[in-house]
Structure 1
Amino acid sequence: MLNPAKRYTGYTAYAYLEAGKDYRAFKYAKQINRVPAYGGLDLSTSQSERTKRLLEEETVISLHDHVQVFPDDMTELPGYIRQGREATAYAGLSRSGLTAVFDNGMDGACCISSEAGWKYQDVLFDLGVRMADLAHQDFVIKAESIKDIEYAALTGRLAHIFALEAATMIENEVDRLDVLYGFGVRQMGIAYSEANMLGGGLKERGDGGLTYFGERAVDRMNKLGIAIDISHSGDRTSLDVIRASKVPVFITHAGARSVWPTKRMKTDETIVECATRGGVIGIEAAPHTTLSRTHPWHSLESVMDHFTYCVDLVGIEHVSFGPDTLFGDHVSLHDTLSSNLSLVQTNGDIDHDKMAYVDGLENPAEAFYNIIGWLVKYDYSDDEIRAVVGGNTLRVLKEVWE
């Protein structure tokens, strides 16, 4: 594990306010060593040194994570969410080695004013409060461009990029995309499992594809410079979006359905079409998603089964990582918010043991050290590692953002 980033000075979320007076305080989960360290790598001294060097020297980008810390007692989660003041896990991020992270906030569980989530005002409130906190420290910076990522890399900071897993909150108003762009959103999904005005989601019995309004939204995202994500979109909608977009799109956090046959995973056709048009798939690691028949107990090894499959399918230049981790009990969060997250419909009913956490990819503080360590262990070259932990993502962003 890395030493804390030099730029980090110990700031904690909302330290400029008075806890208990300005906002309700919670006891947060541990950001470091919440669970036992992963013991599956067994690296030699030279491999460990190479892993640390790559993590420290290369531009490392998570295509999809949630960088908040959650309550230690997850029965307090509903109250924590309703307050609309999620705490960025600065201490944990200082140990991550990340150069940049696409942070998706609460997304489908943004339930400040409504249990159903996805309300426009709630999303704006969530974004605004998070930006206010970021503005009071100098380690995690709000990033909106390639130059911001480069600046973070040069100065020992972490570039935080706002992203949303769906465009549900725009309803039928395409100009809301401009407003969200103005708030700093630089990546957005089409639908979050449930169908919306733009297209179909993974949980639906049928997928009608990208709507005419969805085509307008894709065109506006292209013009604004919002990278498009199809991770939770239905199969037909995903293909429609890839073909409608004038620039490559991302599958920011998913795996291959051929490796683990649930709706939450992407078909070979979608992965290939995405890559053919220049896009990238980020491999997911949220609990009980990217399992495999070879490794049905969710761990780094099962996640990397999806990685190797996708590399064989479309080439290493079209694969990256969007671990989809957070700081706290991710499994309990899923249990509490299973309806909002459509877990039953998208993860299917394949028989597998429920586990407490994903071994080796439990939170953003450990994810990329272990990913890079695995790649080092299996003799991937520096160039190959450089590509999958950030280079491939940067290549697409340069086409989409600039």
Structure 2
Amino acid sequence: MGIKKQYKGYKAYEYLEGGVDYREFELADGDKVFPEYLIPLTKEQEERVGRLAGEKVFISIHEHPVLFPKNIKKDVFEFNREGRQPCAYEALSRSYLDCVFDNLMDGTCTIHSKSGWKWSEVLHDLGMRLCDLAHQDFIIKCEKVEDIYTAHKEGKIALVPVIEGAAPIENELDRIDILYGFGVRLLGITYSESNQLGSGLKEDKDGGLTAFGRKAVERMNKVGMAIDCSHVGIETTKDVIRHSKKPIFMSHVGAKSLWNSKRLSPDDVLKACAQKGGVIGIEAAPHTTITRNNTEHSIYSYMEHFEYIKDLVGIDHVAFGPDTLYGDHVGLHHAFAEHLSTEGTQGDTKEFEEVEYVKGIENPTEASKNILRYLVKNGYSDDDIEKVIGGNVIRALREIWV
């Protein structure tokens, strides 16, 4: 719906008593942590943005739409060990989003262990969030494409649970079915580091998709689980694309041609994804989608990656997966650099200046507003805007989800 969302004031876990039933932390102030920046528009452009926000379905295929502690450095490790991330309902209600792919705790999922990614931790995180969703009426748990349209029509937001890497399934194919049963509809092959399925992008050597990995891809195709290769090694990604009978997602990446970083994807991989009907979402986590023209990470360097990939693979295969959150994202990366596998993946850190926050695309609310504003300001047609903010994702999901 974009503008008149039917949010009625629910706060995460308000059915419990904070300080009694669970440990409370001072949380970030939603989308107001850093100064909001909006791309300037004319009056006519503003009116068009308002119309499109109301008419078109807007999907982010990669986010972390939760509130983090106000003091990341002091509280984040204890906060994560509690295993109770609060969805940022109020801040989301100010966004243009109709559907958000929620990647839960992913690389910070260290509830019961030091290294994270344990099966028990993933189910703890997922179950806790789904319990909270069951007590409110603004977010719809999204399990099929029709749920996205229902959310749009009713002024609500459809939320798709996602597990960003497949390490927790270990060597058990049936765990794919179990995750699907719990509502997970997108599963990453790896999260930067290698696992039973294949090689992560952080590794020096990429052995490609393993024999078990091929079975896992086949199982995901059969149950209707979408596949993500955002944190996957180059050769492993190529193998996944070749082996999958369904289109895949690269939900949060950028163009390696614009910035030499392991976190970004080379042209041949982007083309291969698109040629099989896949969709590529543009990443905005701090210090990822910078370019040689824009070494200060912002909405403008971000959209430069969009423009490049759109020209490379065609507008029918590009979408947005900003990978943002509500809180100090740069601070979180510093605190969890080892778990998030970011060290050594961003290219030469001497060639860019670290930012305190990513101007214009720091959180899901600001990101959704400025993506649409950029597209309007740069003269994209209504049809092309509809494709990149949601239509391309829906087309692929209709082929994948059952």
Q: 1:42 to 1:138 in 2, by over 3 A?
A: same
One-letter amino acid of the structure 1 residue matched with residue 50 of structure 2: K
Aligned position for 2:85: 86
RMSD: 1.1
Question: Stretches of 4+ moved more than 3 A in 1?
Answer: 2-6
Aligned position for 2:225: 226
Kept in 2: contact 1:55–1:368 (CA 8 A):
no
- CA deviation string 1:303-349 (max 9, x = no partner): 01100000110111110000000000000000000001111122133
- Of 335-344 and 4-13, deviating more is 4-13
Calculate the TM-score normalised by the size of structure 2. Answer: 0.98
Matches within 5 A, 1:375-390: 375-390=375-390
Aligned position for 2:49: 51
One-letter amino acid of the structure 2 residue matched with residue 163 of structure 1: V
Aligned position for 1:216: 215
Deviation at 1:366, TM superposition (A): 1.2
- CA deviation string 1:222-278 (max 9, x = no partner): 011110000000000000000110000000001000011101000101000000000
Tell me, yes or no, if structure 1 residue 277 matches structure 2 residue 251: no
Tell me, yes or no, if structure 1 residue 11 matches structure 2 residue 35: no
Gaps in structure 1 of 5+ consecutive residues: none
One-letter amino acid of the structure 1 residue matched with residue 389 of structure 2: V
| 3-state secondary structure, aligned to 1:373 | helix
Indicate the percent of aligned positions where both proteins have the same amino acid: 53
What is the rounded CA distance, in whole Å, between the counterparts of 2:5 and 2:293 in structure 1?
40
Aligned position for 1:73: 71
What is the rounded CA distance, in whole Å, between the counterparts of 2:262 and 2:363 in structure 1?
24
Kept in 2: contact 1:52–1:369 (CA 8 A):
no
Q: 1:390 to 1:3 in 2, by over 3 A?
A: closer
Deviation at 1:18, TM superposition (A): 0.3
What is the rounded CA distance, in whole Å, between the counterparts of 1:280 and 1:288 in structure 2?
22
Aligned position for 1:183: 182
What is the rounded CA distance, in whole Å, between the counterparts of 2:166 and 2:235 in structure 1?
17
Calculate the TM-score normalised by the size of structure 1. Answer: 0.98
Deviation at 1:32, TM superposition (A): 2.8
Aligned position for 1:149: 148
- CA deviation string 1:259-303 (max 9, x = no partner): 111010001010000000000100011100000111110000000
| 3-state secondary structure, aligned to 1:347 | coil
Kept in 2: contact 1:71–1:80 (CA 8 A):
yes
| 3-state secondary structure, aligned to 1:366 | helix
| 3-state secondary structure, aligned to 1:359 | coil
Kept in 1: contact 2:3–2:54 (CA 8 A):
no
Matches within 5 A, 1:26-175: 26-39=25-38, 41-74=39-72, 75-175=74-174
Deviation at 1:359, TM superposition (A): 0.3
One-letter amino acid of the structure 2 residue matched with residue 399 of structure 1: E
| 3-state secondary structure, aligned to 1:37 | coil
One-letter amino acid of the structure 1 residue matched with residue 105 of structure 2: M
Size of the alignment, in residue pairs?
400
| 3-state secondary structure, aligned to 1:88 | coil
What is the rounded CA distance, in whole Å, between the counterparts of 1:195 and 1:3 in structure 2?
39
What is the rounded CA distance, in whole Å, between the counterparts of 1:383 and 1:115 in structure 2?
47
Kept in 2: contact 1:298–1:359 (CA 8 A):
yes
One-letter amino acid of the structure 1 residue matched with residue 62 of structure 2: H
| 3-state secondary structure, aligned to 2:365 | coil
What is the rounded CA distance, in whole Å, between the counterparts of 2:373 and 2:3 in structure 1?
18
Q: 1:238 to 1:107 in 2, by over 3 A?
A: same
What is the rounded CA distance, in whole Å, between the counterparts of 1:37 and 1:11 in structure 2?
24
Aligned position for 1:400: 400
| 3-state secondary structure, aligned to 2:284 | coil
What is the rounded CA distance, in whole Å, between the counterparts of 1:115 and 1:57 in structure 2?
46
- CA deviation string 1:341-362 (max 9, x = no partner): 1111221334211111110001
One-letter amino acid of the structure 2 residue matched with residue 316 of structure 1: I
Deviation at 1:24, TM superposition (A): 0.5
One-letter amino acid of the structure 2 residue matched with residue 130 of structure 1: R
| 3-state secondary structure, aligned to 1:35 | coil
One-letter amino acid of the structure 2 residue matched with residue 57 of structure 1: E
Aligned position for 1:299: 298
Deviation at 1:53, TM superposition (A): 1.5
Kept in 2: contact 1:193–1:346 (CA 8 A):
no
What is the rounded CA distance, in whole Å, between the counterparts of 1:186 and 1:32 in structure 2?
27
Kept in 2: contact 1:283–1:322 (CA 8 A):
yes
What is the rounded CA distance, in whole Å, between the counterparts of 1:160 and 1:5 in structure 2?
18
- CA deviation string 1:92-141 (max 9, x = no partner): 11011111010001101100011211000100010000000001000011
